Every structure is written in structure tokens, then in C-alpha cells.
Structure 1
Amino acid sequence: MDRKTLYLVLGCMGGMLAFSCGDQQKKTENSEAITLNNPSSFDRKEVVAIASADGVELPKPGFYSDTDWKVEAQDQNADGQTDQLLVYGQWAANESKSLDLSALKVDGITKAMTQAEISVQQGGEWQDRKYVNGQGFKNVDFLRVPQEHTDHSYYIRYEGPGLESDKVGYRYYLDWRNAVDIFGKKVNSMVLQQVGQDGFDSYHEPSDWGMDVLKAGKSLGVGSIGRLIGDSVVHFQLTDSVTCQVQSGYLQSKVTTNYYGWDVDGKKIDLQSEMSINAGEHAVKHTVDLSEATEGFVTGLVKNSKGERLEALVGSGGWTYIATYGPQSLAEDNLGMALIYHTKDVEAVREGGFDHLIQFKTSEKPFSYYLLGAWEQEPNGIKDKASFKAYLDQKVAQLNEPIQISN
């Protein structure tokens, strides 16, 4: 491996911060240890992403562990070589820990802590806009959405792609509604593969694994995307085509959706949406890349009369959030929902007809924000407003004070 500048990328809740270690921080010739430091005054447990590093012997693609770490070596470009490490660890307040890559052992026992999937009916046929006589669902990694597909076409299991961690699950409607929904979980294992197998919308009823806990209605659900035209939020009613790809991993899973020719108010744009979730997290990182600068781009949080509005205020240049909490789940118990955003990306926080809205600045650059839901029936779930607000404040602090990597 050529000796070049070492590049490391840090991920906090999936967030990325790039830096390089030049002449003053070169690795010793055979050293494979890196130091990860928690700069915060509170304990942390999270996934850190370390990008491809020339001069460091990265393990082969696979899943590894030792006493302190779980490590997923990813081959993102399918060339047989590791190009990113995901490191899941925990730190005490202000603690530094060393990770020796050469000491990691292959782990063939630990089950995945995240999952992504999209599952479609096989063996049937389209009649108008419904898929009939299907012979069962099959998971696929990539889907070009049929032109016939719309809501309640009975073609895609639970009507869109799913994404989950050991804490919570999400799905969004891969049709004109495009709202993000929440699957509350009563277990820490992966459950999406069970959802919707015993009836198209059976997940609305309580089961051993949990249930759908959010009624999105005409809203954006929790953290979906739209455009504000006048006082109305436009979903993806008109597109030329849509594709969806899923990547399922041990410590991180992703859903990438490309919308081509999204037509709003007579103007067409292309948009790429990437949603990713890490092990141990409620939060989904949502990265949006528009083909051109677009006015009135928004995300939102469904309005519910039983959800009390919470908000954190910080100065410019930092992460913050809007949230709701209360007995607003479909089980009529406590559910917290939040959008975490960076103030540099946002033009305004405003109210819509069905959503609490965040309007982003007009920009041609990609941007990211986080969406999340936390249900009180989760194992060790958050059960009151004060605990939910404390949880959100800590998540914001993690983003504002990312784990520090040195060598």
C-alpha cells in the first residue's frame, strides 16, 4: 500500500467530518492503532466512520469485534477492498480509547444491528394501478418503480422501503405521498422482514415485535421532503421516474432514492435522497442532493393535537432541533418525534397546514438533517417529556462535539 496522507472521516449519528493527518501526524511504519477521544462531559455510545486510509492496513471486508469494539469493514464500491470502517464503541466522559486494527477478530456470531429492505410482489400482473395475483414477496436491492404504482397498489410490502436499527424502524411511501412513517419496536432484534407478511396493512395492529405508531395523513410524516408553493406543501405527485436502492449492513444501513423530473409548478428538477441509520440510534441521517438550487424546499414534522411542541434554541452555526412529545402514537401512548438540523442550512422554521416545517436555504450544495421517533414501549424506552428533551439535547451535543480521531 502506498504511503500517502492519512484521511480519516468521523461520523456522529452518521454525520461526517473530514480531516487529514499530514507530516506532523504520520503513522509509524507498522502501527495500526488509532485513538478515539470523547470530548464531551457525558458518556457516549455511537458509531464512528473511518474512511479509506493509505498507510494503514485496513481489515478485509467483513464484521469484526473485540472486548471494546464492533467494527464493520465496508466495500462500498464492490472492488473487494475495504474503503470504510464503521466503529461502534462506548466512551466515558472525556475518555480516550485506542483501537488496534491488527488485534480485531472476525465475528461470525453477532447479528446485524441495522437493516434496510425493499420487498416486491412476484408472479402477478398489473390491472390498471393494482398488482393482482401475486405469489409472494421478494426482497430486491434495486427497484425502478413501475409507472403503474401508486398508493395501495399491493405491489411493495408495507408500500415502500424500510430502514431500522435495534431501537426503531422507519418506512416511507414510495409513491406520491412520500411521507416517512415510524414502526415502534418492542424488541431489539431486526423485525422488518416480518412486517406486512400476514396481511397488507397488518402492522397497524399491535404484535409481538411492535406496530406502526404514526398516522402521517396529509403531512410529511417525520422528516420527509417537499416543496412549499404559496401556503401548500407539494409532495412527489409528478415525476418522470423513481429508483430506489438499499444497502443493509451490521452497523449501518442505507436507502437511496432518485427522483427524476420532479415537476413542481411547471419546473422539473432531479433529486437524490439518502437515508442512513446506525446501530444504537433512533436518528436517521437524511442527505438531500438537488440537481439545481431550488426555492421553498422543506421538511416537516406532522402536527398532532396531543403532541406538545419542544424546541431548542442555539446561536448560528450549530445543530438544533424542533420536536413534539406526548400521547400521539396510534397506540395512544407517548411518542417523541424530532428533526435535528444545522442552522447554517435553514432559512426559516414555520407552520404549515399539516406540519411543523423547516424551510432550507436556496442552495445547489447537498445538505443533511436528522429525523427520529422514540416510542415509550421500546425496551428501556423514553417515557416522559423531560427524558425525551434530555435525550435530544445530548444528541445535539454529540453533533456539535464529534468524537476526535488521532493516530
Structure 2
Amino acid sequence: MNTKLYLSVALSSILLTSCKVGQKATENTIVLKNKSNLEVPQKAIAIKRSQLSLKDVANDFPILIFNNDTIPAQVNDLDGDGKWDELFLVTDFSPNESKLVTLKWSKANPKFPIKTSVRFGKREAKNLPVQPATEEVLMASQVYKKLGFQKYQTDGPTWENDKVGFRHYLDGRNSKDVFGKKIPAITPENVGVNNKSEVEDNYHQMYDWGRDIFPVGNSVGLGGYALMIDNKIDRLGILTNDTLNNVEKTTFKIVSEGPVNSVLGYQYQNWEASGNKYQVQETTSIWPGMYGYKNTVNIDGISGKETFLIALSNINNQKGVKEIEAGDWVCLIQHDNLGYNREWIMGTAIIVPKKDYLGYIEAPKAGQLTDSYLAKFKIRNNTPISYYAIATWELSADKNFRDPAYFTNYVTTLAKQLSAEIEVKINK
């Protein structure tokens, strides 16, 4: 991507030498303070460009040094104007720990281990090869059933970190699926295509890295969403056999892809639901260490009669769902043989904000959205709502996820860690 700005890894001494950090360049110190009494591993922090002194270094790359080690970080251009908007980093905190970090600047692009990734490929005709892409525009009539062929590698974009992977059905369905990973390495770029660069469902078989493991059916998967209007559920998108989307125009873009953060953006123009039209902005973000991703949804056109629904697909679940408050969040947790044909033990959950939470319902047995638990929310016009979708399986690197109590503890502990505030002070 021409718009990507990566910060990707090396040992601190090698990094500082190879990047030729100027001794006379502008330097800041940054104090990062964990204001909670919790241990918070791999905490994601975003520092806005406007918070930093950029005199004489506007085109340079920031380098963060703590105790002579370099903190993995990257810069993200979120609005696509060619200038980065935020410095994104991931680091560990002890309870109440303060870190005094030195910010230096480099002309060269530093390197860090790649721990997040986005993969997206498409073709414009059935007889054309799949090509890597960074963006897409899909009109209402360009859906899978109407086209007569699957346009997208893995049905749409996939994103992952060192723990787990996900995919979004961009072909009109807008469901979210799970790739179970057995190793921390990023999965191959050719997942979902054959040696002729044709779209091929080759990810429902086991590889060294793992496979697609989660049945979605007519749900919207793990972390998909809908609106409920006058007790009618309207999903964003359609089912496999529908030939016309309920979204007039879908725009997708890989916003950023780097070693510690990958960001995907979706715009849904004129989503028709119960006779109303809505404009939707969705942002998906993933960083290392967490068995999940963050999703943020903002809807324009809300009149006050709508209830926002966040979905947790419950296909193959025979043990029900737990509802547990943790920190600023409510966790809906399920653990069972949730994999295809009940072959693998999985834990899946959604971590949703306690504020404006209205409880949950189970989706109807028939209709456009089924086989799900649906968390209900009061939603306000043009007001973003953020939540997390979590997935593990028994073949994860951590085999303890076979145990339902272990998974429940993981989810609730993560929710408390997400609630932990990190204070950022810039000394210019």
C-alpha cells in the first residue's frame, strides 16, 4: 500500500545504529502511567500526532526507547491524506507502573516483528486471476448470487494477529468468521486461492497454521451487527441466495497494516432497514497478544426507535451463554464444541460496553438473522459504539482454553485490563 507507514523490529542497539537517529534531532520524553492496580500485558496505546512536537521532524519516524529497549510501534494514516495521524504502540505494564519513555526520530523506517496482518484479494470476472488489493467498492447488485461467482479471496478480507484470525464476508453477507491458529506466525498470503490464482475454499482443511473453524450459517458471525426496529431485526446485508443487497454501496479499505496494528474500514451507504436509510461507518482494529479484535460502529440516521444489536453466533452451542460484568464491560461468553460438526472445543465471546447495555436476546429460528445471541444497546445518532469479539480453540498455543473456567477467566480478566486507563503525558 502506498499509504501504509510501517514501523516494523530489531534489537535496540542495532535499531539505533541502522536508523541513524540524529543526536541533535528533537527529543521528547513521554510518561505512560498505568492508573490501575492491575497487571496489563500488551496494552494498546494511541498517541495523536497533534500531541507531539514535529518541528524539523515532520517526515521522520518516531522511535520509542524505554530502559534502553525499543518499544514496538507504528504510525497510522487514518484519514488517508498521506500524513500519519497517530503513533500506535503496544507495551506491558505492572500494576500502577509509570514508564518514562524517550521519543527520538529517525530518517529510516525501523523494523519490528510482524504480528498483525490483513489479506485481501479480488477478481473482476470468473476467468480472471485473483489480485491483491487494498480497497473495494461493491454496489447492491454485485453480490455473490447475482454475479454467479465468488469475487473475493476468502469471501472478503481477513485480519489476524499472533493469536487468532478473522474474516469478513464482503460479498454482501457482512458476517464475521474465525480462523483458528496453531502457531503465532502470520498465515500464508495464498490462503483462499489455488496455484492458478483462482478463488478456492481450501481453508476448511487443516494446515500447520490452522484453518477456518467457526460455522456462521445465517448468523452474522462473531461481532457482526444489526438493528432492531419495532421488534423486527434488520441485518446489515443479505443471505447467500439473495440477489440484491440492502446496502446501496459498500466501500472497503485497508486503512493501515503494520507490525503492531492493522485497521480495516467499511462504509455502508444507504443501508435500507424497515423502510429507513442509514449511513454506517465501521472500523476494525487488531493488535498483538489478544485473542480478538476491536470493532467500532457509527450510524447516521438514528431516530431513537432503533436498538443496536451485537451478535454472538451460537451454532453448535448446547451449553448456553454466561453474562458477566467486568470493569466497564459486560461479557457474553460461550464455551462448547462450537467448531464445525462440533469437532473442536471453542470459546467465543463478545465484550460490550456496560453503558447503554439493555440485556441480550436470542435470535429467531427463522429469518434473515438466526443462530445468535444478540446484545442490545441504546444507540445515539452519529455516536460510535466500540466492542470486542473474542475467539479461542483447543488447538491454540495455550491448550488451557479447553477448560471453560479458564476461558471465562481469560475473557473477564481481559475486560478489566481493557478498562485500565493509561495516562499519557508528553514533555516537550
Specify if TM > 0.5: yes
Residue 348 (structure 2) pairs with residue 337 (structure 1): yes
What is the CA deviation profile of residues 281-302 of structure 1, one whole-angstrom value per residue up to 9, with x for unaligned ones? 2221111111121503211111
Q: 1:405 to 1:296 in 2, by over 3 A?
A: same
Question: What is the CA distance between 1:371 and its match in structure 2?
Answer: 1.2
Alignment correspondent of 1:180: 176
Residues 70, 88 of structure 1: 8 Å contact kept: yes
After superposition, residues 116-135 of structure 1 pair within 5 angstroms as 116-121=118-123, 124=125, 132-134=126-128
In the alignment, what sits opposite 2:269?
260
1:3-402 matches, cutoff 5 A: 32-38=28-34, 39-54=36-51, 56-57=53-54, 60=59, 62=61, 64=63, 67-77=69-79, 81-102=83-104, 108-121=110-123, 124=125, 132-134=126-128, 136-146=129-139, 147-150=141-144, 153-191=149-187, 193-198=189-194, 200-229=200-229, 230=231, 232-237=233-238, 238-247=246-255, 248-293=257-302, 295-303=306-314, 304-313=316-325, 318-330=328-340, 332-353=343-364, 354-364=371-381, 365-381=383-399, 382-402=401-421
SS in 1 for 2:203: helix
Partner Cα separation in structure 1 for residue 169 and residue 379 of structure 2: 26
How many residue pairs were aligned?
A: 368
- In the alignment, the residues of structure 1 paired with residue 202 and residue 116 of structure 2 have an alpha-carbon distance, to the nearest angstrom, of 22
Question: CA deviation digits over 1:276-325, x for unaligned, max 9?
Answer: 1112222211111111215032111112334542221369xx21211111
- Compute the displacement of 1:215 (Å): 0.3
RMSD: 2.7
Distance 1:203 1:217, change over 3 A: same
CA offset at residue 95 of structure 1? 2.0
Q: Deviation per CA, 1:222-244: give whole Å up to 9, x if none.
A: 11011235354534131211111
Gap runs ≥5 in structure 1: 1-29, 125-131
Matched AA of 1:305 = N
The Cα shift of 1:205 comes to 1.1
The 1-side partners of 2:179 and 2:58 are apart by 35
Report the Cα distance in structure 2 between the residues aligned to 1:213 and 1:310, rounded to whole angstroms. 22
Give the C-alpha shift of residue 62 in structure 1: 4.8
Q: 1:65 to 1:32 in 2, by over 3 A?
A: closer
What is the CA–CA distance in structure 2 between the aligned matches of 1:180 and 1:55, rounded to whole Å?
36
Which secondary structure does the structure 1 equivalent of 2:415 belong to? helix
Change (3 A) 1:213 1:61: farther
In 2, are the aligned partners of 1:36 and 1:403 still within 8 Å (CA)? yes
Identity rate of aligned residues, in percent? 26
Q: Which consecutive unaligned segments of at least 5 residues does structure 2 have?
A: 1-25, 239-245, 365-370
Shift of 1:376: 2.3
Amino acid at match of 2:391: G
- Aligned equivalent of 2:4: none
Alignment partners' CA distance in 1, 2:40 and 2:356: 29
Whether contact under 8 Å (1:181, 1:222) holds in the other structure is: yes
SS at match of 1:386: helix
Kept in 1, the 8 Å contact 2:254–2:263? The answer is yes
Q: How has the CA–CA distance of structure 1 residues 344 and 166 changed in structure 2, closer, same or farther, with 3 Å as cutoff? A: same
Task: Give CA deviations for 1:106-133 in whole Å, capped at 9, x if unaligned.
Answer: 66543321112321025x3xxxxxxx21
**Quick check: 1:298–1:358 contact (8 Å CA) kept in 2?**
yes
Q: Distance in 2 between matches of 1:46 and 1:166?
A: 15
Instruction: Return the alpha-carbon distance in structure 1 between the equivalents of residues 395 and 415 of structure 2.
Output: 24
Report the Cα offset of residue 254 of structure 1.
1.4
- Tell me the distance in 2 between the aligned counterparts of 1:275 and 1:80: 20
Q: Which amino acid aligns with 1:110?
A: F
CA contact (8 A) 2:317 2:337 kept: no
Find the residue that maps to 1:53 and give its secondary structure.
helix
In the superposition, relative to structure 1, how do residues 355 and 299 fare at CA in structure 2: closer, same or farther (>3 Å)?
Answer: same
8 Å contact from structure 1 (residues 222, 302) kept in 2:
yes
Q: 2-side partners of 1:83 and 1:362: how far apart?
A: 28
The residue matched to 1:41 in structure 2 has which SS?
A: coil
Which stretch has the larger CA shift, 240-249 or 50-59? 50-59
For residues 347 and 175 of structure 1, the distance between their equivalents in structure 2, rounded to whole angstroms, comes to 31
CA drift at 1:179: 1.2
CA 1:240/1:325 → structure 2, altered by over 3 Å: closer, same or farther? same
